[in-house]
Amino acid sequence: MLADLVDELLARPLPWPIVQAGDPVLRAAARPYEGELSEAAFAALIEGMKVTMREAPGVGLAAPQIGLGVRIAVVEDRANERPGVPAATLETRGITPLPLRVLVNPSYTRAGDETAAFFEGCLSVSGWQAVVARPLRVRLSAQDETGAVVDEELSGWPARIVQHETDHLHGILYLDRAETRSLSTHEAVARRWAQPTPAEAARELGFELP
């Protein structure tokens, strides 16, 4: 079944459409990937996910976002390619480069007690952002595209990206974890809430930060 779905996807031009909130595939727990695809099909799927993520543009893409209920994601943050974002903002938010990587059957656990809250968006909730509190550091467990074990600790924005994409594989959208009173359009965030932290947004919109 997965192979048939992937064949259908591979027959479509890139970048692939990104599934939007309201589609059941985003609310179902994805099943583990158990090597059902041929080497060529798997490689083509990963390449297509990379292209789709970059073209969006985004810093992560989970398989359910292209209609596949399987536990595969790609992540990448070219943090040095954010023109106009002050260095102080990058530092405060812990935004550092996250090299391109493929995550197969990923999971994460909290590492430490610190929590960070920032505006967060999603390619599957187009046009909107909201403040989400997440663990500042996590330990990531997964396999890469070669089957090698991934076991590392991440902090700051790379940790947030991994949490966000792994959540997709459990049928969780960032809105499920968000301060709903913070919900803002991309335009509103850019115009009003571009400060390094969401403290002013919290005061003005009436929500609490951890």
Residue 105 within a domain: yes
| pLDDT value for 158 | 98
Position 131: which residue type? V
Instruction: For residue 131, tell me if it sits in a domain.
Output: no
Residue 78 lies in a domain: yes
Q: How far apart are alpha carbons 147 and 144 in whole angstroms?
A: 5
In a domain, 85, yes or no: yes
- Give pLDDT, residue 85: 87
Q: Is 170 annotated as a binding residue?
A: no
> Which stretches in the chain have pLDDT values below 70?
none
- Is 47 designated active site? no
Q: What is the CA radius of gyration of the chain?
A: 17
Is 125 contained in some domain?
no
The residue from 39, 76, 120, 165 that is catalytic is 165
Mean pLDDT of the chain: 97
